[in-house]
A = this chain, B = another copy of it.
Amino acid sequence: MTEESERARRSECESEFESEPTTEIDVPESHPRYQSLLTRHRIEHGVEAGITSKQGLIAQGRGEAFDYLLGEETIPSADAAERAAAAQLLLADHPVLSVNGNVAALVPDELVELADAVDAALEVNLFNRTEARMEAIADHLRAHGAEDVKGLTADARIPGLEHERGKVDTDGIYEADVVLVPLEDGDRAEALGEMDKAEIVIDLNPASRSPRVASIPIVDNVIRAVPNITAHARELADADSRTLERIVDEFDADEALEAAEERIRSGEF
Contact = CB atoms under 8 A, between A and B. Distances in A.
Interface residues of A, number: 40
A59 B36 CA distance: 13
A10 interface: yes
A54 B47 contact: yes
A237 interface: no
Nearest to A205: B65
Interface of A is mostly: helix
Contacts of A53: 17-18
Interface stretch (A126-134, A138-146, A178-186, A190-198): A126-134
Contacts of A64: 58, 61-62, 65
What is the count of identical protomers in the complex?
2
A104 to B, nearest CB: 16
Given A19-B128, A265-B265, A266-B265, A65 B61 contact: yes
A227 interface: no
A9 interface: yes
Contacts of A73: none
Interface in A30-63: 40, 43-44, 47, 50, 53-55, 57-63
Contact of A20 (B58, B60, B128): B128
Contacts of A269: 206-207, 261
B61 A18 contact: no
Contacts of A207: 269
Nearest to A204: B65
A27 interface: no
Nearest to A268: B207
A66 interface: yes
Given A17-B47, A61-B65, 8 more contacts: A9-B16, A17-B17, A18-B55, A40-B58, A44-B54, A57-B57, A62-B65, A265-B266
Interface of A: 9-10, 12-13, 16-20, 40, 43-44, 47, 50, 53-55, 57-66, 68-69, 128, 130, 132-133, 205-207, 261, 265-266, 269
23 contacts: A16-B50, A17-B17, A17-B50, A17-B53, A18-B53, A18-B55, A19-B128, A19-B132, A19-B133, A44-B54, A57-B61, A58-B60, A58-B64, A60-B61, A61-B61, A61-B62, A61-B63, A62-B65, A64-B65, A65-B205, A69-B69, A206-B269, A265-B266
